[in-house]
Every structure is written in structure tokens, then in C-alpha cells.
A and B are shown apart, each in its own frame.
Chain A
Amino acid sequence: MIKITVKLIGPLVNLAGFSEKIIELPAETTVEEVLASLPVDPQRPKIITRNGQAVALSEKLRDGDRLAISPIYSGG
């Protein structure tokens, strides 16, 4: 098992009901599998980073990773 931190951003916080939490996952869980476990619309564009860097959906997570999931923003 591995532990990762999931950080949600913007309205995803309200949709999922949490802002940030540590979750325990089986080793080799992918980003896509984490995303599928969250109540966020898979059709809406998102940007996902691991430890501040872009990450592909197929990538496997590692113990201690910080996964941030955000909708696309223009920033004002």
C-alpha cells in the first residue's frame, strides 16, 4: 500500500466534499484510477500535477506523492 495526498482546487472541492486529504492506495495505482474514484465530471477538462509537475493519467503513483487536480483557469 502507498499513501498519497490528493489536493483539489476550485469548485472540485465542493463537488468532492473535501479540499485535501491523505489516501491509502494499493501500490501501482494510476492517476486515472484515483480520478475515477472521485465525484468529478470526467468530461470536463482538468489539469493534474504530481508534485507540481504535469502527470499523465496512465502514470503510476508513488508513496508520498502529492496529486493536485484543477479545472482549467484563465486567471482573471
Chain B
Amino acid sequence: MKGWTGHILRINLTNRTHKIETFGQEFAEKWVGGRGLALKMLWDELRPGIDPLGPENKLIIAVGPIAGVPAPNTGKTVVAAKSPLTGGFGDGNLGTRATEHIRKSGYDALIFEGQADKPIYVYIEDDKVQYFPAEDIWGKGTYDTHDYLYKRYGKGVGVLSIGQGGENLNRYAMIRSLEGRAGGRPGIGAVMGSKKLKAIVIKGSKPIPVADPEGMRKLGLDDLRKVGEINKQTGWSIQSTTGVLSWCNEVAALPVHNMRQTHHPDAWKIDGERLNNARVATYGCPNCTMRCGIAIRDHEGHESELDYENVGLLGSDLDIFELDQVGSLNYLCDDYGLDTISAGDTLAFYADAIEQGAIKGDFRFGDAEMAKKLLGQAARREGEVGNLLAEGSLRMARAIGHNSEAYAMQVKGLEISAYNCKFIPGMALAFATCPLGAHHKDSWIITFEIKQSQRDSYGPEKAAKVIELQRIRGGLFEFIVACRFPWIELGWPLDHYAEYFNKVTGLNWSLDDFWKVSDRIYALMKFFWVREFPDWDRTRDYPPMVWFDPSNADKEGPIAGKVLELDKYNQLLDHYYNQRGWDQRGIPTRQTAEALDLKDEIVEVEKYTKLE
């Protein structure tokens, strides 16, 4: 088998044992890698209803066949588990040197199961696995943790770690690597913390199995250079993702004041221009020639690496328009190992709930110093407020009551990324049908909606575009495991990825072959949710109700007086389900699942619900 090592390293943290398991060509071609591999393993191995923070949950670290191979933006790794935030399928990806080392150690995936009795970290070097006490770094932030491990093993190793957030089971804790890289929004860091696994250090020395090593090397290096040239010509890295802030402000899509407002006159103070002017360093993932991480000095003098989501949720959504303070909040999230998106949304929800009189508290929008204190309390689960904030906005809303769930900005429990869809139906659908909860990662269609469609349309073209992008972004890039930016930001053709895949695996796949894998993965992700929540219905694919509330409409600006309409949204959801071959509950039909070769999975899911 080429492209895949065919090996999975299974580590049991309860008894500190490990074994190497194998899989064959048929399995590899069916699930490919990254999200596909992780999903299939979690589906096969997890019993529904388990406590995501108990020993039965499994942490999967999975790479793909082109991961680590020198080619545009192949430095990514997927981390996955049953989510403690949503109770459903959870994954995320992050750029890390671990990607290359996982492959060079001879694995396509690592499985961590059980629970250590004391804090440990695991060192993996090829076939060797060692377990070390982590008392010296337990309680420390990710920056100190990485420094500690780099001193011991050198900077060339791959390190994945958690901060205090993961240790204390904050439900939106992430896994960190390198400077500013993080992945696993749905609380995958908390799963790692529940296993008392502070860090994974990995170093590999084996060759990555490539069918055409010379051809791949020449093509990959050439294409890395070309992507770098396009980046220079277009100037994309000048503001990288943060340029979108000004645009969202122009078109009334910026999160402001817990997404109750869509634009703000002070937004320019935290926009991409200001960020670029304040830049002190630039960071990127391995195998990247269009680095996106802009680091600034935060209010306390730390280096803090920002992208748009960080600025949108920790800045404008909290009415904080001082860039250095946004940098401070971002630095703290990175150090504590918290998801900046969920942290921002959760703090904004807290401020909003106080403003609405649903709960008493001292926090107000715009108060950066209090926001810093609250992040620390949430990361460490200190006191009543810290424990409440550590649960995420949906659980908070259910604890608070007073109809506050309507303005908890989340879907399925996962907080919404930095696009305010008060009047952007297609992007609301993208958030609502994302298989993790409200993440922009799988589909992002705002520019399509505004440029190539009509903003107020709920037509089939928007459902089709969401699915097209889910196949590419949530499918292809998540299972071959590469960053989507060369394609989405610079127009690097998708055909190249088929070429890399074929050179690495020796297969002859077209893009259509990838789309079938994407659809299979999306169907199984939905089955995963349905198995956990057998009373599944379409309301779980709804965005927050406040977006449908006419009293929440903007008073002025481009979308004054307009909000989403629920009956029309349901029509849009119908288009989406019909085009996917899913029933009106939002569950793949038997015919659809059979066409995607999910025979065994149908038998399993039908223990919980009858397929149409």
C-alpha cells in the first residue's frame, strides 16, 4: 500500500500499554484519512451515551495520505473525539510539526483511550512509546508547556498540548501546537485533559510511503513556490484573514454586542490594516508559503497571533475595539488552550444575559480587563461564574433560563464563528448544517450569497453552494488533510490536490471520487449525531432564534428592518435535505446511505432510529 502506512498506534493510558494495528487498501480508500479515519474509528469503537469526559471516550489524532508531504499546505493534523461541548461528533484540525512526525513514525492515526491515574505526557519515537510524569507542567499554560518540552526534546519535534482549560475540563478547550496554532473547537482539549494527558511529543525517522517519490517531490516543491508567488502578487498575507473584518462591517455581517448588531463605527480600530501596522512577527504552519498568522504585542507585552475569528469574537462581539486588548484576550485563550470563538461567544452571551436582566453579574460589554479575569476563571473553573462560563453558552443559557437560549449564539452547542447571519440565510444554513455545530470551517458562502445570488434568497442555489463547499472544505481538505487557503484565498485549482493524492497513493482518482468520500463522511457524521440523539429532528439544524426575531432587526444600515424568516428558512433546509438525499428530519435516507456503501452503518443506526 502506498500513500498510507496502514498502521494505527493504539495507546491505552489506563494501563500504559500500546499496540500497532493495521488496515488495508479497501478501508483506506473508503475513509482516506483525517476526519474520515477518525470518524469511522469513533463510530466503530464508541458506545452511544458515554460520558465524553470519561475513560470510554477516545482521542483520535489522524493525518491523511498527503499530510507531511512537501506540497502546498500539508502540515495539518485532525484531532477528534465525542464532543463534551455538543455531545455529538467533534473534530478540528491544526497546523503542527506533529503531522510530519506522525507519518514518519509510521502511522496514519493515533488512538488514545482510557484515562491515566496521574498527569502524564507521552513521547512517541517510531515504534517506541514512553510515558512520563507531567507534574512539572500540569497547571501550566501551553507556552510554558511547549518551552519545557522543546528544552527536553529540541524544537524539531512535534508537540500537541493542552493548557489549564483542558486540564480543568472546560468544554471548549482545544489542543495547541506551535505558536498560535490550535485545533479541536468542540472541546477536544477537554477530552485530552480528562485522560490526564498533558502533551504528546512525537518524532519520526521513517520515510513516508509515496508511490512516486521523485514526481511528488518535484511537483510539490514547484507548487509550493508557485503558491508563494501568487501570495506575493496578490498581497494576501499583508492582512491574511483579518481583511475580512472591514468587509463584514461594510455588508452588515460583523458580530457586535453578542451579534445583536452587525456593524460598528469603531470597527476600523481592530481591522486588518491596524493589525498589519502593529505586526511584530508572522507565523505559519509547516509546508506553507502563504503564512496567515499575524502576531502583535498585546496589552501586557506578550506576542499574540491573531486571525479574523479571534478579532471578531474577542473584539467586536464584546464591543472591545482596542487591538492590544483583543491581543491580550487571544493570548490568554491560546495559553489556557481555549477556543477563541467559543470563549468570545460565551463571554458575549454572559454580558448580554446580564444586560437583559436574566442573570446578575459585574461584566459589561467593552470591559477588557474583566473579560481577562473571566477567561482565567473559565479556564480554571474557579467559582460559580467560572464554572458556568466553562460550560459554553448553551448550557449556560439552560442554567440561567429566562428564554436566554434564544440569544445563546450557538448551533448544537458549538458557538458561532465570526459571521453575523441576522440576514444572511445561506450562511445561517452553513452554520446550522455544519456537522460539528456552528463552525465556518465546513462551508462559507457569504460572498457567494452577496455577489452571485440574492442576499434575501432562500432558493436551492444556496443549498447547492453550501453542499458544494462542504464537499470541498469539510470533505476533501479534512480527509486528505491540507489547508484550504491556497484554493479559497488564492484560487489554486482543486485539480492539483487530486494530482498530489494520485502521486502519493498510486491511484487515479478524479475529484468526483473525492466527493463520494465527502458525502459518505457527511452521512456517517449525521448518523453519529442521530445515534447519540435518537429523537433527532430538523430543529437541531436551526440557527439561534434571535436571528428570526423582528425586534432584533438593525435600526439602520444595509439590512435595516430585516431578519431571517423561519418559514423560508425551513424551505431552504428542505432544499438542502433534498439535494443531499436526506429525509425531512435531516437524516440520510436508506437509499442514500446504501449508495454511499454504508451497509454496516445502516444496521447500526437503525438500532436507534428507522431510516426512511
Contact = CB atoms under 8 A, between A and B. Distances in A.
Interface string A6-42: 0101110111000100000000000000000000010
Interface string A50-76: 011110000000000010101111111
B10 interface: no
Chain B interface extent, by class: 35 or more
B447 A47 contact: yes
B251 A52 contact: yes
Contacts of B236: 10-11, 71
B451 A47 contact: yes
A65 B308 CA distance: 27
Contact of B489 (A7, A13, A14, A74): A74
Nearest to A52: B558
Interface stretch (B76-84, B124-132, B238-246): B238-246
A74 B251 contact: no
B171 to A, nearest CB: 22
Interface string B228-242: 000001111011010
A12 B484 CA distance: 22
A52 B234 contact: no
A6 to B, nearest CB: 12
Contacts of A73: 241, 243-244, 247, 447, 489
Nearest to B253: A52
A42 to B, nearest CB: 13
A52 B559 contact: yes
B455 interface: yes
B259 to A, nearest CB: 15
B285 interface: no
Contacts of A9: 243, 246-247, 250, 272
Contacts of B451: 47, 54
Contact of B243 (A7, A10, A41): A10
A53 to B, nearest CB: 6
B235 A15 contact: yes
Nearest to B308: A76
B250 A49 contact: yes
Nearest to A48: B451
B238 A52 contact: no
B569 interface: no
B20 interface: no
Nearest to B309: A76
A10 B450 contact: no
B307 interface: yes
Nearest to A10: B243
A72 B247 CA distance: 10
Interface string B422-452: 0000000000000000001000101100110
Contacts of B488: 72, 74
A11 B235 contact: yes
A68 B244 CA distance: 12
A47 B453 CA distance: 12
A11 B273 contact: no
Contacts of A19: 273
Given A11-B239, A51-B558, A52-B559, A74 B234 contact: no
Interface of A: 7, 9-11, 13-15, 19, 41, 44-45, 47, 49, 51-54, 66, 68, 70-76
Given A49-B558, A72-B488, 18 more contacts: A9-B246, A10-B247, A10-B272, A14-B235, A41-B234, A44-B234, A47-B447, A49-B251, A53-B450, A54-B451, A71-B234, A71-B243, A73-B241, A75-B241, A75-B417, A75-B440, A76-B292, A76-B308
12 contacts: A7-B250, A11-B236, A13-B273, A14-B235, A14-B238, A52-B558, A54-B451, A68-B246, A73-B241, A75-B244, A75-B308, A76-B241
